[in-house]
Amino acid sequence: MPAPCSTASSVAGEPLIGSAPDALGWVCLEQNGPWGARAWTSSHLDPGLGAAIEAVAADHTVRPSLVRRPGRHADAHGPHTGGARHVLVAHSRPGASWLLAGVVADPADLLRLDWAAVAVGSAEAVQASIPSLAPALPQLLVCTNGTRDTCCARLGRPIAAAAAERFPGRVWEVTHTSGHRFAPTTVLLPSGSLHGRVLDAAPLLAAESEGRLVLAGYRGRSVWSTAAQVAEEHVRRSFDLTGLDDLTVAASGADWRVSHRDGRGWTVRVTAYDDGERPESCGKAVKPVTRRRADLVED
């Protein structure tokens, strides 16, 4: 029997950095009960509504996720019904990130959300579109969708439960963060920072709350492309920079310019090559491991 994808990835030494999904912001809707492999259209949420939310989110480079509290999560509403739900809305740009949370009377209320405002970072416009939203403390999402990949449920649920004991009301199970093979995987809001192969998620949330970033297990920040994530992490490790919003990244020709808020800056060249192989997910075909090398370039 083949090894679980998370084991295969770890044995192959697959790098974590550069694996965060592309998202300027995050919108999370509480949905208890079972989740299918494609949860927005295969859970107890109305599939037409789920598809509509996924479509508008994609139009604005915002990541939509279904969430539920760790532990028992029976769906009191039943299949394809409405009812009040918790909602999290975050914008993740460094230095301008924010998180709003609240309760909507019905999941369909998300279609009234100002999705463009989520993408550009206008909290005021978002609150105008859904007045029940208000500023919230940082939150932790842990992927536990076993229908999509067994590693996420097997490894993620204990991590979520342990973190929830330390931070009651600030931890959620989430449907999908991409990268099952890096399980357990987490997302921190509002920063959109992802971690993988997590042994203890509570310190990640504690650091986010203090404006710090834990580099162990860091997959990247969702506001940047794969290569930009690699460039940012390289500068962080090279100069021991752990302030959450210390750095911004921008393209500089074929390279990347990483700028510190204190005025310092570095040019980083990122090159990619394949070495090794692993399955992308449990039961899927084996594919090459893409690795990326980052080098500081003299200005």
CA distance 216 to 296: 21
Range name among 37-41, 86-90, 135-139 with the lowest pLDDT average: 37-41
Average pLDDT along the chain? 93
Task: Please tell me the predicted confidence (pLDDT) of residue 79.
Answer: 64
Listed in sequence order, the residues at least 6 apart from 282 whose beta carbon sits closer than 8 Å to its beta carbon are: 4, 5, 149, 150, 151, 180
CA distance 161 to 173: 9
Name the pTM for this structure. Answer: 0.95
CA distance 233 to 247: 10
> Token pair of 16, please?
């974590």
Task: Please tell me the predicted confidence (pLDDT) of residue 295.
Answer: 97
Q: What is the pLDDT of residues 6-59, one digit of tens each?
A: 888 899 899 999 999 999 999 999 999 888 778 888 888 999 999 999 999 999
What's the pLDDT band for 77 if we cut at 50, 70, 90? Answer: low
Task: Please tell me the predicted confidence (pLDDT) of residue 144.
Answer: 92
DSSP 235-284: HHHHHT--BTTSEEEEEETTEEEEEETTS-EEEEEEEEEEEEEEESSTTS
**So where are the chain's domains?**
1-223
Q: What is the pLDDT of residues 162-193, one digit of tens each?
A: 999 999 999 999 998 888 899 899 999 999 99
Query: In terms of DSSP bridges, do strands 134-135 and 85-91 run parallel, antiparallel, or are they unpaired?
Result: unpaired
Is 61:192 a contact under the CB 8 Å cutoff?
no
Distances (CA, A) of 271 to 10, 17, 78, 236, 256: 22, 13, 50, 18, 11
Distances (CA, A) of 9 to 67, 156, 280: 26, 16, 8
Return the SS3 of 293.
strand
What is the pLDDT averaged over residues 65-86?
78
